[in-house]
Amino acid sequence: MKIIVKPLAILWLIVSSVAFATVVEHELAACADAATAPAGARSGPFSKAPALGIHLGFLEHGKYDAITDVPGVLVGQVTQIEGSGKLIPGKGPVRTGVTAIIPRRDVWHRKVEAAAWSFNGNGEMTGTAWVNESGFLEVPILLTNSLNVGRVDDGVVSWMIRQYPKIGITDDVPLPVVAECDDDFLNDIQGRHSSPQDVITALDSAASGPVAQGGVGAGTGMMSYLFKAGIGTASRVVSAKDGGYTVGVLVNNNAEARQNLTIGGVPVGQNIRDLLPASGTPGEGSIIFVIATNAPLLHDSLLRLAHHATLGWARTGAISRTGSGDLVIAFSTANTVPHYPQAGTYPLTAMDLYHMNPLFQATVEATEEAVVNSLLAGQTMVGRDNNRVYGLPHDRLLQIMHRYGR
């Protein structure tokens, strides 16, 4: 069973847990024994931090509180949930998927300024040597699991050739940007179940608007702070006097230890010591950050923005462990880098670095909330060998926040 999740079909993110269970009945059927989890692990509603009264930072968020609040940015996802029970390597159970972020339509001919950075390098994000060498991004960004990078790369190439038939003949060749996290605790990762066609489907379905979070797309089999997590997104808009620019962040969150979890300065992980993953022992995990903005930033300034994403992650308690691949890519849609320009020069608008502080604030806040949103959207999931990861219980979380005056 493959579930294509389009950003415009996400009403379940703002409904109660009962409605959520109805909408994703097919997922619960595949993970039937998740219903035996403690009541606190199944509570809802499953929504974004502001909807629960958790306000992180002081800047306003955009219309969708998502990376798609940056004009032109599109997101598409394919979620794969199949089978249950004992692991049969190469067969299942399957708990995985792909997430596609397209900076703008026709990014091949109208490239965007970009920069990539490795905070901790125990992971992979392909194509970033050229991103940092050239200073631009000319392909979509794809997220997947650790062993599926090659097949996803193949899918991107096929999609690009379909869009631009002269590639490799009279045109240049693309270097796909594909980033991974390890979902082997819940998923048959040896099976490499996300096919090139799944990538094409995700790219073709990419749209603006609301973005599905939690155990969807590349985040299907992910966990963080030993709770179910995965995809999370948020945005912030700086004041009109600072330019009115938007910063949107999307993460695939799969890292860090329970005791470190902090939300709004409250030591949540130290107050929820039960609901630990059952049946197996998860690894250390990783996290991928994708930052988009419409502020006119060039490569060097985008690299500075990428650095600040990790400050937002740190606010949630992260320390970036040795086994973690913590990789960041940032891009700006404000300028257009032409495709093989005839002229020897082309115009760009650049923000002075001394005016960037509001954008740093926006990046930190949006990243912090994106990480938290990935947890709030996480539903209890049972995967291969009946390994179970619990969702963060909203009722207990709010009780803890209230106890600390938040």
CATH code assigned at 245: 3.60.70.12
- Residue 40: the pLDDT is 37
Residue 109 contacts residue 273 (beta carbons within 8 Å): no
Only one residue has tokens 């930052």, namely 291
Q: How is residue 265 annotated by DSSP?
A: T
* For the chain, counts of helices (H) and of strands (E): 9, 15
- Residue 35: the pLDDT is 36
| Residue of 320, 326, 332, 374 marked catalytic | 326
Active-site residue flag, 194: no
DSSP conformation letters of 339-387: SS-SSS--------GGG-HHHHHHHHHHHHHHHHHHHHTPPPEE-BTT-
- Residue 17: the pLDDT is 35
Q: What angle do CA 123, 128, 131 make, to 5 degrees?
A: 160
In 3D space, the residue among 198, 203, 185 whose CA is nearest the CA of residue 286 turns out to be 185
Active-site residue flag, 286: yes
In 3D space, the residue among 248, 249, 216 whose CA is nearest the CA of residue 230 turns out to be 216
- Residue 284: the pLDDT is 75
| Residue of 286, 301, 332, 374 marked catalytic | 286
- Residue 86: the pLDDT is 97
Only one residue has tokens 């606010």, namely 315
The Cα–Cα gap between 248 and 241 comes to 19
Active-site residue flag, 324: yes
Exposure of 113 in the CB half-sphere (CA atoms within 13 A): 23
| Residue of 224, 324, 332, 374 marked catalytic | 324
Write out the chain's pLDDT in tens, 406 residues: 445 444 433 333 333 333 333 333 333 333 333 333 433 333 344 469 998 999 999 999 999 999 999 999 999 999 999 999 999 999 999 999 999 999 999 999 999 999 999 999 999 999 999 999 999 999 999 999 999 999 999 999 999 999 999 999 999 999 999 999 999 999 999 999 999 999 999 999 999 999 999 999 999 999 999 999 999 999 999 999 999 999 999 999 999 999 999 999 999 999 999 999 987 677 778 999 999 999 999 999 999 999 999 999 999 999 999 989 999 999 999 999 999 878 889 999 999 999 999 999 999 999 999 999 999 999 999 999 999 999 999 999 999 999 999 8
The Cα–Cα gap between 258 and 171 comes to 49
Residue 398 contacts residue 282 (beta carbons within 8 Å): no
Say how many domains are in the chain: 1
Q: Where are the alpha helices (DSSP H) in 258-298?
A: 268-271
pTM across the whole model: 0.89
In 3D space, the residue among 399, 391, 254 whose CA is nearest the CA of residue 324 turns out to be 254
The Cα–Cα gap between 309 and 289 comes to 7
Bridge partners (DSSP) of residue 181 are 145
The Cα–Cα gap between 63 and 209 comes to 9
- Residue 282: the pLDDT is 73
pLDDT tens digit sequence for 238-262: 999 999 999 999 999 999 999 999 9
The Cα–Cα gap between 76 and 372 comes to 21
The residue range of the domain holding 327 is 2-403
* 3-state SS, residue 301: helix
Only one residue has tokens 């997947």, namely 144
- Residue 393: the pLDDT is 95
Residue 142 contacts residue 152 (beta carbons within 8 Å): yes
The Cα–Cα gap between 145 and 126 comes to 13
- Residue 152: the pLDDT is 98
